[in-house]
Structure 1
């Protein structure tokens, strides 16, 4: 901790770090200084003047440099002639601050009255009613009645769309600038700004589409009035009508902490429904922010397309069945066959993975992780440890990001890595194409997709400036993904990056380690429990006596896997929807969504976190772990299946990395800074305090095998001069089954398309909007072209989960599509 200074606020003597602002020092002392424009996560601007206080400083003798003392021996304090803004004034030794004097009260009353001269009187219908800082501070500090006539107020446009996700009521805006500053300084998306001047000043969007940012919803949280609202919550409910429930975001490996606000309503037939998703503070994970996918992407849990009854194949058709019929039929199918394969996706909880693993191993089967990316075992050994927090990275440390676009794949990690670079950490980004993170990189390593392993090898050689920067770093955090890599190549990449940590002597440091950018929330949890991806998955499925698929849709992702499933002896599927895989199953079990049950997920940083049930379960559905246990019971395999917490207890006893963990420990919290989500809503915004658990990071496993060697994997060279390397890339808004039901995001979802470099497009003789046929063997696809200068030459990028059956990169033949003449 740096130098401390002692000061007095309202008669209370406190010590705080030098350089802290008065408003924050007061907050630490439990004294609230009202603010509108200030936010503890952003640099102060002193715009609103609501935080004016009296500030006195010791009188210093110019000859001795020492404070002049009063008769009683205390320093003589001289107060300034004017009030000062607590949000822009740093503390100093011996400072005396008064926040409750008559002159301060008069200033606050004047500021409130001034704001209300241009503010509408629509509190009864305003969405912010009940959690509005302006409303609360008016009651606390404002005048009892107005001296201004209603007709004198500004009357501006209401319900102004800043895009399809966020609406602006211009006359409610108090021009605090929080939203503009957040978008410019925190999110680095300066897509909204002030326009015009004086009383005509207003917020506008300059982007197309409007408010084009993955973090736009956060502005509605930090807006101190009802000027900004989200499209899905506007006029939806009152805060006091809703019940908050702690949860974890299911969409990516960051594990952002959420609060689900729930209300029972007549429009839903008396059911309890989720009205909005809000951030929950966890300074080790997502701080107080969430991305818009996490905020708006929950609607699949309420989709009318959800499965609501078990299905059993009879006479070649899936027919509704009772639970007992379906469980008995599934057990019979497993009992009669050997060679059972459990294929599980990263949407499962740790408890689901654990029970499924117990059954399949008891049947001498294989536990296969549905993933095209490897390296989870190296994350177990060389991941972050203990209480490591990315917020601790700064000058003298380094961050290496390889083969991943964090802004698209894990937005909150992008935000936190950006912040580390801004604090002075050396950021090195290695990718085949430019990404948004490169704006903050000290070094950029560009490579052809076929050269990524070679480039990482050069970092191990230690001769380049990038290698030297990594070697001398005190702490090194490495994020790695799978862009442009096969499963085998991603395994080799993880091995080499682990070796880099060991070689540099950073592997044992608590704030150093590997972080895998998985495609799903709990892929790392699958690795921890024993599931592993299969490089020859099609053959494994085709030759299996029985395949048990949970939270995965291989048939919908790849026609080759669909054909393989057709050859499997018996297929069981557990899912939320009747997927293409479920359509081919012999038994289909309807499962509960994460909003309807409890469980745990393990993030890419190996932090185990709890999520809680927010709404009653959909009738006739069950959690995955319970379904597995009930099938196991029919097979004579004893498993815990009635309670997620009891399954977790069994897991913690069986797996050394989870030793000592329990639901009680995962629910433990400590005080976090800044203090948000408390009684006042003006300081940090409408953000929920975390009282339900910060999670626990798993202990590192022993290093195990030597890292001197790694799999000899090479990306195959182009089979012909005109071949195109087709690479699936992640877009935040894909068309996966857990996002498509979110209609608000439809306009921004990635579409099936082929992105080409200008030179590649010219070689094929196509322009944006024209069509190209790509083919490999018997597979062919015709795609619309978009010419993009950021795409590498001889490569074609295709967004994942948009209907194009491309799970891993491959060389293809490409040619301009010949369109049939119209009749």
Structure 2
């Protein structure tokens, strides 16, 4: 269905955007950044901070005829409201005129900043947000330049308040934009933090025990427009302009979140480059702009003193440090000896980690087979070959999933095994996708499912095959367990729900499975597809 387009004028520049677009987003289409604090494109607008105040004029309609009232030159007569309005909550309309750089709008922004700064501490020289702080930037661009309030009259609150084990709150710096609480409520659906008190005494508090009990708490520090929320491991550790940024991929789960590694050389690391923080890197098809706390905080193993920091070779039964050249030559000699003679290649076995990239695994396989040997993958989950054959194709972009898509999650606690997929599946359900959960125990994902099928541990493959049996003619190759499972009413309902899908996506996990049982589960899922 084609979207209806609307024409309007923003700061004397004509814009055409889809109907329903917010003014702040329509302005971005022409490179006009209306300043915001509380607004975030991933969350519902609330208009709390009032920083985006603009003048809005709308075409006048004759109340009797319903026709547009026009000026003498034929142009539409525009009537501006008596007060400023928020650009982040107001959708565009045909013929609308927006003034964001008028004296009235600029005066409104100046007043808002002055109010925000009445009790904001002068922490910029020591604040972790300094250098990447929206409040700092917007104060320089639109602020009054000086304050009419006395420093001694500032309202003082706690400067070092642990919300949990990972997040520290500076209550003086908070400007009450509610981005953090809205993120937990709308995106994650973990209502573990919120507002307490009112007025200038408004504070963020945690409602959970342990505090801020969420797998995604670190994201609140990214979206906080000031230095009110900081992570325990980056607090007072570095300034943003000191850091080098490198693109990377998170290795801790199947999602493959796009990340940025912030690094610098440090004296306490003998001049070596160390990771100071891990930040999400935007990729709307994978992780959007979020990462889980494991992906954000688990990098510390890279600086562990127990890691090997130089090559070693075994001589006379002991491992001794050596150079890379010597180590590589020694390894090459060993491979050369194993690839010649009557048993050529039989003694060559390459074991690859599941954490390696596809390119590395391919090169490892070519290397081992080139020597006449073989390669194996060290993993506790099977089915990778089937995923390569029938998985990860068209229709697997979570951003496009909605009505017509059914997502089947089998033998998997998705929030534990792939946290960002948990968020993406939840969002797909919010857009109208159908969710079926098949698991031996209760998980948080079931809250969003239309059908839930419970089975005994070890019966995951038979349960999926029971759905196959329900939807197909009798198949002796499925064994005796499948027809028995198909007589279960819940399995029957889930199978019918799956059969109505225009786009079926199956996610299987490792809940109570091993290598053999997960391979059988993967085969059952492939049969269902």
Q: TM-score, normalised by structure 2?
A: 0.91
Name the structure 1 match of 2:353: 345
Which residue of 375, 380, 390 maps to 1:372? Answer: 380
Alpha-carbon distance change, 112 to 490 in structure 1, aligned in 2, over 3 angstroms: same
1:236 corresponds to 2:234:
no
Name the structure 2 match of 1:222: 223
Whether contact under 8 Å (2:351, 2:377) holds in the other structure is yes
For residues 767-782 of structure 1, what are the structure 2 equivalents within 5 Å?
none
For residues 238-277 of structure 1, what are the structure 2 equivalents within 5 Å?
238-277=239-278
For residues 150-229 of structure 1, what are the structure 2 equivalents within 5 Å?
150-229=151-230
For residues 527-606 of structure 1, what are the structure 2 equivalents within 5 Å?
none
Q: Secondary structure at the match of 1:295?
A: helix
Q: Cα offset for 1:389? A: 2.0
Which residue of 373, 397, 403 maps to 2:405? Answer: 397
Q: Secondary structure at the match of 2:16?
A: strand
Name the structure 2 match of 1:40: 41
Deviation digits for residues 226-254 of structure 1 (CA, Å, limit 9, x no counterpart): 11111111111111111211111111111
For residues 31-430 of structure 1, what are the structure 2 equivalents within 5 Å?
31-334=32-335, 335-336=337-338, 338-385=346-393, 388-430=396-438
Aligned positions, number: 501
Which residue of 471, 482, 486 maps to 2:510? Answer: 482
Name the structure 2 match of 1:553: none
Q: Cα offset for 1:70? A: 1.8
Deviation digits for residues 287-346 of structure 1 (CA, Å, limit 9, x no counterpart): 011111111111122222221333333333333344444334434444246242211111
Bigger RCO (CA 8 Å, 6+ sep): 1
Q: Cα offset for 1:386? A: 5.5
Alpha-carbon distance change, 311 to 122 in structure 1, aligned in 2, over 3 angstroms: closer
Q: Cα offset for 1:465? A: 2.3
Q: Cα offset for 1:35? A: 0.8
Q: Cα offset for 1:128? A: 1.1
Which residue of 475, 485, 493 maps to 1:465? Answer: 493
Alpha-carbon distance change, 85 to 192 in structure 1, aligned in 2, over 3 angstroms: same
Q: Distance in 2 between matches of 1:466 and 1:145?
A: 65
Alpha-carbon distance change, 329 to 144 in structure 1, aligned in 2, over 3 angstroms: closer
Q: Distance in 2 between matches of 1:455 and 1:382?
A: 20
Q: Cα offset for 1:263? A: 1.9
Q: TM-score, normalised by structure 1?
A: 0.59
Q: Secondary structure at the match of 2:184?
A: helix
Q: Distance in 2 between matches of 1:278 and 1:241?
A: 15
**RMSD of aligned Cα (Å):** 1.7
Contiguous gaps of at least 5 residues in structure 1: 502-823
Q: Cα offset for 1:449? A: 1.3
Q: Distance in 2 between matches of 1:104 and 1:453?
A: 63
For residues 603-614 of structure 1, what are the structure 2 equivalents within 5 Å?
none
TM superposition outliers: structure 1 runs of 4+ over 4 Å: none
Q: Distance in 2 between matches of 1:368 and 1:268?
A: 36
Q: Distance in 1 between matches of 2:180 and 2:188?
A: 10
Q: Secondary structure at the match of 1:342?
A: strand
Q: Distance in 2 between matches of 1:240 and 1:300?
A: 25
Name the structure 2 match of 1:443: 451
Contiguous gaps of at least 5 residues in structure 2: 472-485, 487-491
Deviation digits for residues 107-131 of structure 1 (CA, Å, limit 9, x no counterpart): 1111001111111112111111111
Q: Secondary structure at the match of 1:135?
A: helix
Alpha-carbon distance change, 399 to 386 in structure 1, aligned in 2, over 3 angstroms: closer
Q: Secondary structure at the match of 1:297?
A: helix
Q: Distance in 1 between matches of 2:175 and 2:313?
A: 60
Q: Cα offset for 1:86? A: 0.8
